[in-house]
């Protein structure tokens, strides 16, 4: 066995182990700092308008339909939420902050009741300009919603530009939402 | 005897006519079998390593209902799968389709085989040839040395 072969025989497996370790370490670090989520699913809706729908509001109030968000005067968020959803509680202060910046937020309540929603909004504030109720959850399936909360960024042409699954965080607003607002305002 | 034969012929028809209820949807046994085969190929979006058929999540149940309604309506398997892919993307398919994104995945066994053959060929080529057999003089000298 030549010295080079001997060195390769020890060096190559060692290099493979080191590379694998570095890869796993990076994945874990990125998961810890919320930069990487292995459960993340890209939304097929990005680059398209949301599918046609028309939903009532809560307790006979006015809801909204796909035509109402087909050409908003400025970029907006459509936030899927529910009174029974814990991450939605965490997200409420963030939506409150965003509402104060003047960003229009429309809400769709997923599989909820009027009484529970009234309690939720009274307790956590109501950042929504309009609220529709998807009691059956069938509109959610057409949107590809697989959990609440989910937030869709819709530009002035009514096209979905981004979708966040899970609670919006300060980090997501800084790193993803603000650049989108700068681009599409 | 003829009665038994008749029974044997009619039994499959009986199976086809059997009615089952799953997730509140009533359908015939063959329809249910078809719906299950479709659901087994779809990923539950909530518990991502389970199929829609196996999952207890409420979204999975709703999707099972939709599959059964579409099976009853006479939709093809492909139409039902396309319905899901349109909404949730190709991630919903437990078996990834063959497409540019998955070319590397499907090419991997062939690349591994080719790589292995390459290594085998290279190591055969580098093998040091066996020394020629000893001549009579060499053998005599070896015997001398070993004595």
Residue with tokens 């057409």: A142
- Cross-chain Cβ contact A44/B45 below 8 Å: no
Q: Can you give the pLDDT at residue B14?
A: 66
Task: List CB contacts (< 8 A) between B87 and chain A.
Answer: 44, 141-144
In chain A, pLDDT over 90 holds for what percent of residues? 85
Q: How far is the CA of A117 from the CAs of A82, A121, B78, B90, in angstroms?
A: 7, 6, 39, 34
Task: List CB contacts (< 8 A) between B123 and chain A.
Answer: none
Average pLDDT for residues A180-185, to the nearest whole number? Answer: 94
Q: Is the ipTM of this complex over 0.90?
A: no
Q: Which of A43, A111, A146 sits opposite B46 (nearest CB)?
A: A146
Please indicate if any CB of chain A lies within 8 Å of the CB of B63.
yes
Q: Can you give the pLDDT at residue A36?
A: 83
Please indicate if any CB of chain A lies within 8 Å of the CB of B52.
no
Tokens of B131: 């020394």
- pLDDT tens digits for range A56-68: 999 888 999 999 9
Q: Can you give the pLDDT at residue B15?
A: 65
Tens place of pLDDT for every residue, chain B, 147 residues?
A: 778 887 777 776 666 678 888 888 899 999 999 999 999 999 998 888 899 999 999 999 999 999 999 999 999 999 999 999 999 999 899 998 898 988 999 999 999 999 999 999 988 888 888 888 888 998 999 999 998
- pLDDT tens digits for range A80-90: 999 999 999 99
Q: What CA–CA distance (Å, rounded) separates A155 from A78? A: 11
Q: How many CB atoms lie within 10 A of CB B68?
A: 25
- Say what angle helices B29-40 and B58-72 make with each other, to 10 degrees: 130
Q: Can you give the pLDDT at residue A9?
A: 86
A153 pLDDT exceeds 70?
A: yes
Q: Which of A41, A44, A147 sits opposite B86 (nearest CB)?
A: A44
A1 pLDDT exceeds 80?
A: no
Q: Which of A47, A146, A150 is the best mutation test for B, with the most CBs of B within 10 A?
A: A146
Stated as kind and residue range, the H or E segment containing B118 is helix B103-125
Q: Which of B45, B115, B126 is the best mutation test for A, with the most CBs of A within 10 A?
A: B45
Task: List CB contacts (< 8 A) between A137 and chain B.
Answer: 59, 62
A44-53, A130-139, B63-72, B121-130: range with lowest mean pLDDT: B121-130
Query: HSE of B56 in the Cβ direction (CA atoms, 13 Å)?
Result: 0
Q: What CA–CA distance (Å, rounded) separates B137 from B35? A: 84
Q: Can you give the pLDDT at residue A5?
A: 82
What is the three-class DSSP state of B125? helix
Q: Which CATH architecture has domain B2-97?
A: Orthogonal Bundle (1.10)
- Chain A residues contacting B via beta carbons under 8 Å: 39, 41-44, 111, 137-138, 141-144, 146-147
- Cross-chain Cβ contact A143/B45 below 8 Å: no
* CA-based nearest residue in chain B for residue A147: B46
- Cross-chain Cβ contact B66/A42 below 8 Å: no
Tokens of A27: 């994945």
- Cross-chain Cβ contact A41/B45 below 8 Å: yes
Q: Which of B24, B82, B87 is the best mutation test for A, with the most CBs of A within 10 A?
A: B87
Q: What CA–CA distance (Å, rounded) separates B44 from B61? A: 10
- Cross-chain Cβ contact A147/B85 below 8 Å: no
- pLDDT tens digits for range A96-127: 999 999 999 999 999 999 999 999 999 999 99
Q: What CA–CA distance (Å, rounded) separates A76 from A74? A: 6
What HEC string does chain A produce? CCHHHHHHHHHHHHHHHHHHHHHHHHHHHHHHCCCCCCCCCCCCCCCCCCCCCEECCHHHCCCEEHHHHCCCCCCEEEEEECCCCHHHHHHHHHHHHHHHCCCCEEEEEECCCHHHHHHHHHHHCCCCCEEEEECCCHHHHHHCCCCCCEEEEECCCCCEEEEEECCCCHHHHHHHHHHHHHHHC
């Amino acid at each position: 066995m030549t010295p080079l072969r001997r060195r390769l025989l020890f060096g190559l497996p060692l290099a493979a182990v080191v590379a694998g370790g570095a890869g796993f370490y990076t994945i874990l670090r990125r998961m810890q700092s919320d930069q990487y989520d292995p459960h993340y699913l890209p939304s097929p809706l990005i680059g398209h308008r949301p599918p046609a729908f028309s939903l009532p509001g809560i307790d006979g109030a006015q809801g909204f339909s796909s035509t109402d968000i087909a050409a908003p005067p400025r970029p907006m968020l459509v936030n899927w939420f529910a009174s029974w959803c814990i991450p939605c509680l965490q997200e409420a202060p963030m939506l409150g902050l965003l509402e104060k910046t003047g960003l229009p937020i429309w809400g769709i309540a997923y599989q909820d009741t009027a009484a529970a929603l009234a309690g939720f909004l009274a307790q956590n504030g109501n950042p929504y300009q309009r609220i529709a109720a998807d009691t059956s959850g069938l509109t959610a399936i057409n949107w590809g919603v697989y959990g609440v909360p989910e937030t869709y960024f819709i530009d002035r042409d009514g096209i979905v530009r981004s979708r966040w699954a899970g609670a919006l965080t300060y980090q997501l607003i800084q790193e993803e939402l603000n650049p989108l607002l700068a681009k599409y305002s | 005897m003829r009665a038994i034969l008749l029974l044997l012929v009619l039994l499959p028809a009986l199976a086809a006519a059997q009615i089952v209820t799953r997730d509140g949807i009533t359908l015939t046994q063959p329809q249910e079998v078809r719906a299950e085969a479709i659901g087994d190929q779809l990923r539950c979006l909530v518990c991502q390593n389970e199929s829609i058929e196996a999952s207890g999540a409420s979204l999975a149940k709703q999707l099972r209902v939709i599959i059964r309604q579409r099976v009853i309506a006479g939709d093809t398997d492909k139409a039902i799968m396309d319905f899901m892919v349109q909404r949730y993307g190709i991630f919903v398919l437990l078996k990834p389709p063959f497409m540019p994104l998955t070319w590397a995945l499907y090419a991997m066994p062939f690349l591994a085989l080719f790589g292995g053959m390459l290594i085998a060929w290279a190591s055969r080529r580098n093998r040091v040839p066996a020394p020629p057999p000893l001549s009579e003089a060499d053998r005599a000298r070896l015997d001398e040395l070993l004595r």
